Structure 1
Amino acid sequence: MKPPPRDQNGVVEPHDHPDIAAADGVIRRIPSNWVVPDKDGSLRLSSMAFKASSGVNAGMSVDLEALIVKAGIDPKVHVTTPRWVGSIRYTAGQLRDEQFQVGFDPLEEEPPEPANPFHGEVWGDFPRSKQRRLSEFAEWFVPIPDVRIYIG
């Protein structure tokens, strides 16, 4: 994959990467602390699953399924660790249809986290209405038992 654009400090700039096809899978990892009780007592994902992180050029952190598969790695194994207990999946086209940019943002090793050459970002505005939309069309990739995706 073509390297991503970087600013003068080496930080990846928001971009819509031309090598990420509309049908390519975009996986969002879910930690256990993003599972919260709903009003009725059932469990659902927190809105944190549908937001950008903070910081310079921050987006919603994802893994690019096509790159993982091309490397000969099982994507479900790659995205699941003791910290990341589940994951949801979109296609790049679904995200672009919502006016998001889907880009490539490989991560260097930052102990205790290993390098992640399959990492990407989803950039754009994440108001509550868009978070709700993202929760509507997300699908479980690695399900967390008895947990709903939709945040209503």
Structure 2
Amino acid sequence: MLSQPPRDNAGVVNPHDHGEILGDDVIIRRVNPAEHVYFDENHQVNRLSTKVMQPSSEPKGGMSIDHEPTLVEMGIDPRAFVTSPPMTASVWLRAGAAREIGLQVGYDPIDPHNMAHCEVWGPIERPNRFSKGQQRKLLATSEWYVELPGVVVCLADSGQDQ
């Protein structure tokens, strides 16, 4: 199990980069088809929007993810765990991919409901903000974990987003 994260006086987790979350660790982002899928007119395909890689707007909000190694350590089937409606699909990427573009990956357990919950935060001065470029890069390095049939994760030649 990951060590406890830094918290403020109210017990809220502070944005941080958790050293025990390794660069090769798989992090899972849940997908809500109603919010994260759109029809790309230019390519005539359903695909994920960069909105799937958007952090919460709360002051210390990040992008909610699940840490696959922690789920496995807990004896939980990750694919079953990350598909509770309305989040019926998910994508994965490596924690190092987020760090390579200036983001922080930290532990933020939701006791007792999700002890594998983590967050991806922006830089310390603006943890709840990712640039559109960072969102695109996160999406470009993602692959289906639990696939949404008929939906493309990312188009390599597409500069358009929704």
Whether 2:87 is the aligned partner of 1:84: answer yes
Name the structure 1 match of 2:59. 56
Runs of 4+ in structure 1 deviating by more than 6 angstroms, as ranges, are none
Using the TM superposition, give the Cα deviation of residue 56 of structure 1 relative to its aligned residue in structure 2, in angstroms: 2.5
* Unpaired segments ≥5 residues, structure 2: 123-128
Q: Secondary structure at the match of 2:135?
A: helix
1:127-138 to structure 2, matched below 5 A, reads 127-138=131-142
Summarize deviations over 1:30-86 as a string: whole Å, max 9, x none. Answer: 012111111244211122101101113101100000100000111101101121111
Supply the distance in 1 between the matched residues of 2:49 and 2:136 (Cα, whole angstroms): 11
The TM-score, its normalising length taken from structure 2, stands at: 0.86
Of stretches 65-74 and 122-131 in structure 1, the one that deviates more from structure 2 is 122-131
Aligned to 1:118: 116
Kindly state the Cα deviation for residue 108 of structure 1 after the two structures are TM-superposed: 3.6
User: Is the aligned partner of 1:7 residue 2:14?
Assistant: no
Separation in structure 1 between the aligned mates of residue 7 and residue 37 of structure 2, nearest angstrom: 34
More divergent stretch after superposition (72-81 vs 34-43): 34-43
> Does residue 19 of structure 2 align to residue 18 of structure 1?
yes
The separation in 1 between residues aligned to 2:31 and 2:97, in whole angstroms, is 19
Structure 1 portions without partners, runs of 5+? 110-114
Number of equivalenced pairs: 147
How big is each residue's C-alpha offset from its partner over 1:2-25, in whole Å with a ceiling of 9 and x where there is no partner?
A: 100001111110101011111111
Letter in 2 for 1:14: P
Alignment match of 2:78 (pick from 62, 66, 75) = 75
- Which residue of 2 is the match for residue 106 of structure 1? 109
Q: What is the CA RMSD across the aligned residues, in angstroms?
A: 1.4
For normalisation by structure 1, the TM-score amounts to: 0.91
Shift of 1:29: 0.2
Query: What is the aligned-residue identity percentage?
Result: 41
Q: Secondary structure at the match of 1:84?
A: coil
**2:152 maps to which residue?**
148
Provide the secondary structure at the position in 1 that maps to 2:88: strand
